[in-house]
């Protein structure tokens, strides 16, 4: 009994120790790049994991040029409902919390920055979610600005931060350094690294309890494979690549019927493009120009324009690609690094691959009985309605002609009736 009691006590202590270890520490995630739906999902899950594991807080190390407004709103709402304190740390040195990142930083329970970082430039024009070719008029621009101003004002008021500066970040695209942000009460902490941040967080109150972070272990919450995949997919260059893949695949299938694989790949790519275009702001005018370019490439296959239409198609494709994401936030715009090679490859694809496939479909039949129509042969003897013989493709054939043909005279095959050729005299 004594031994049994000893083991029970040891097990209880081990369980208590395990629970303590599990609850100790702080959670950490890294957000590096544009704010997208995948980012919002990752932050949402990380907060839930930190709460489940009873972490002291969740630290979000942030470096972003901006992102989508809908995703930003989802993140802010999750911050408000978070069961653990959320610390946004703009780092490492040289990082920036621009546009959407400014909203996210101000919405955190504790806002911190590393030295030589910046925050601001949250004007709604760079955060808009317009997805059409309609440029916002003055009234719409004013509405967007008023909404963003009131939204960031509400965030700053809730967190007790500098409301006037927050409003100027939207109205005037104001941007300041970490040192200035601390001076103006935009943030609470400047920390040179995570260790320094944990030291300064220690003892801060959150909903009636004090944080204990000085010696806390930092436990990173990694992205899942699915989150990484969606983070990769929600990029303009990926959407552009999938759009080209859809074009190549579908047109490749049409120009070479029966290949199957190009059509399947193109169809899958097209579905993905349609899915992501519901989130990423695509410009319809850019899509239309790309469509015009494809039409010009195809027409030039059959028209004798000496490449004029192909040249026009290249220009239309280049302009369309440039316009495709021009209504989006700057971090969601295509770079010339992707546009120029895509233009060259597309022009070459349509000029040689698609052109060859389409031209092949209009060539005369070269095999079978149909291939004999239009051929020329010499009459081996007299040919008339009663019959005669010709030598074609290494074989002797019976032949008939409504017009008598003398031996040796050339004839043209005009029809095939069973195993008998119908011919007519061919003028020299």
CA distance 214 to 194: 10
Q: Could you read off the pLDDT of 339-358 as tens digits, one per residue?
A: 888 888 888 877 776 656 55
- Give the model's pLDDT for residue 34: 83
HSE-CB at 394 with a 13 A cutoff on CA atoms is 0
**Model pLDDT, residue 96:** 94
Distance CA 420, CA 75 (A): 81
> Looking at beta carbons, which pairs linking 405-411 to residues 24 or more positions away fall under 8 Å?
405/379, 406/379, 406/382, 407/379, 407/380, 407/381, 407/382, 408/378, 408/379, 409/378, 409/379, 410/376, 410/377, 410/378, 410/379, 411/376, 411/377, 411/378, 411/379, 411/383
Q: Do 283 and 324 contact (CB within 8 A), yes or no?
A: yes
pLDDT (average), residues 217-227: 92
Is 388:401 a contact under the CB 8 Å cutoff?
A: yes
Identify whether residues 245 and 147 lie together within a single domain.
no
Same domain, yes or no, for 320 and 277? yes
Q: Give per-residue pLDDT as tens, 234-293.
A: 778 888 888 888 888 887 777 666 677 888 888 898 888 887 776 666 778 888 888 888
CATH number at residue 382: 2.40.50.140
Domain tally, the chain? 3
Question: By the 8 A CB rule, do 53 and 80 touch?
Answer: no
Higher-confidence residue: 373 or 240? 240
Task: Examine the domain organization and report whether 200 and 266 are in the same domain.
Answer: no
Q: Is the pLDDT of residue 142 over 70?
A: yes
pLDDT at 78 over 80: yes
- Contact present, 178 and 90 (Cβ < 8 Å): yes
Say if 2 falls within a structural domain.
no
For residue 322, name the pLDDT band (cuts at 50, 70, 90).
Answer: confident
Residue 213, pLDDT > 90, answer yes
Range(s) of the domain holding residue 320: 235-360
4 part of a folded domain: no
pLDDT for residue 139 is more than 80: no
Report the range out of 192-201, 236-245, 249-258, 327-336 with the highest average pLDDT.
192-201
CA neighbor of 240 nearest in space, from 273, 279, 264 = 273
Tell me how crowded residue 390 is: count the other CB atoms within 10 A of its CB.
Answer: 24
Out of 228, 248, 266, pick the residue that ends a domain.
228
Residue 314 has pLDDT above 80, yes or no: yes
Q: Does any domain span residue 9?
A: no
Residues 42, 50: Cα–Cα separation, whole Å:
12
How many angstroms separate the CA atoms of 241 and 142, rounded? 35
CB atoms within 10 A of CB 130: 16
- Using 50, 70 and 90 to split pLDDT, how confident is the model at 45? very high
Q: Which residue has the higher pLDDT, 292 or 131?
A: 292
Mean pLDDT across 16-42: 75
Is the domain of 183 the same as that of 286?
A: no
> Across-strand partners of 63?
32
- Kindly state whether residues 72 and 143 are assigned to the same domain: yes
Domain boundary, last residue among 314, 340, 360: 360
Could you identify the residue written with the tokens 């494979």? 225
CATH of the domain at 30: 3.90.226.10
């Amino acid at each position: 009994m004594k031994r049994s009691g000893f083991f029970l006590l040891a097990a209880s202590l081990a369980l208590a120790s395990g629970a303590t270890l599990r609850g100790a520490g702080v959670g950490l995630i890294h957000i590096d790049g544009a704010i997208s739906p995948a980012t919002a999902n990752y932050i949402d899950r990380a907060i839930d994991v930190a709460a489940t594991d009873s972490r002291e807080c969740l630290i979000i190390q942030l470096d972003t040029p901006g992102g989508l407004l809908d995703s930003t709103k989802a993140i802010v709402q999750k911050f408000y409902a978070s069961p653990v304190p959320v610390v946004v740390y703009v780092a490492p040195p040289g990082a920036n919390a621009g546009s959407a990142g400014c909203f996210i930083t101000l919405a955190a329970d504790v806002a911190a920055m590393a030295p030589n970082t910046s925050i601001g430039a949250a004007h709604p024009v760079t955060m808009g979610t317009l997805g059409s070719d309609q440029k916002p008029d003055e009234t719409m621009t004013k509405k967007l600005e008023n909404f963003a101003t009131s939204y960031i004002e509400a965030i700053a008021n809730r967190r007790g931060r500098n409301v006037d500066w927050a409003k100027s970040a939207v109205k005037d695209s104001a941007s300041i350094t970490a040192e200035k942000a601390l001076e103006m009460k935009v943030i609470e902490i400047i920390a040179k690294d995570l260790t320094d941040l944990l030291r300064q967080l220690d003892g801060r109150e959150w909903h009636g309890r004090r944080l204990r972070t000085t010696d806390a272990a930092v436990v990173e919450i990694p992205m899942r494979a699915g989150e990484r995949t969606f983070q990769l997919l929600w990029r303009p260059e990926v959407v552009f690549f999938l759009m080209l893949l859809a074009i190549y695949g579908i047109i490749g299938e049409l120009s070479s019927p029966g290949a199957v694989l190009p059509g399947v790949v193109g169809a899958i790519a097209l579905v993905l493009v349609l899915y992501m275009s519901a989130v990423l702001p695509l410009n319809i005018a850019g899509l239309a120009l790309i469509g015009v370019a494809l039409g010009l490439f195809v027409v030039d296959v059959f028209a004798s324009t000496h490449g004029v239409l192909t040249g026009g198609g290249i220009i239309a494709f280049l302009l369309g690609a440039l316009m495709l994401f021009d209504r989006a936030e700057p971090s969601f715009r295509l770079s010339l690094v992707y546009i120029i090679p895509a233009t060259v490859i597309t022009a070459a694809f349509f000029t040689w691959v698609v052109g060859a496939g389409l031209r092949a479909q209009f060539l005369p039949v070269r095999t079978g009985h149909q291939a004999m129509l239009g051929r020329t042969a010499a009459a081996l003897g007299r040919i008339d309605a009663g019959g005669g013989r010709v030598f074609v493709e290494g074989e002797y054939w019976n032949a008939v002609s409504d017009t008598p043909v003398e031996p040796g005279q050339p004839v043209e095959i005009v029809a095939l009736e069973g195993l008998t050729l119908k011919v007519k005299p061919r003028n020299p």
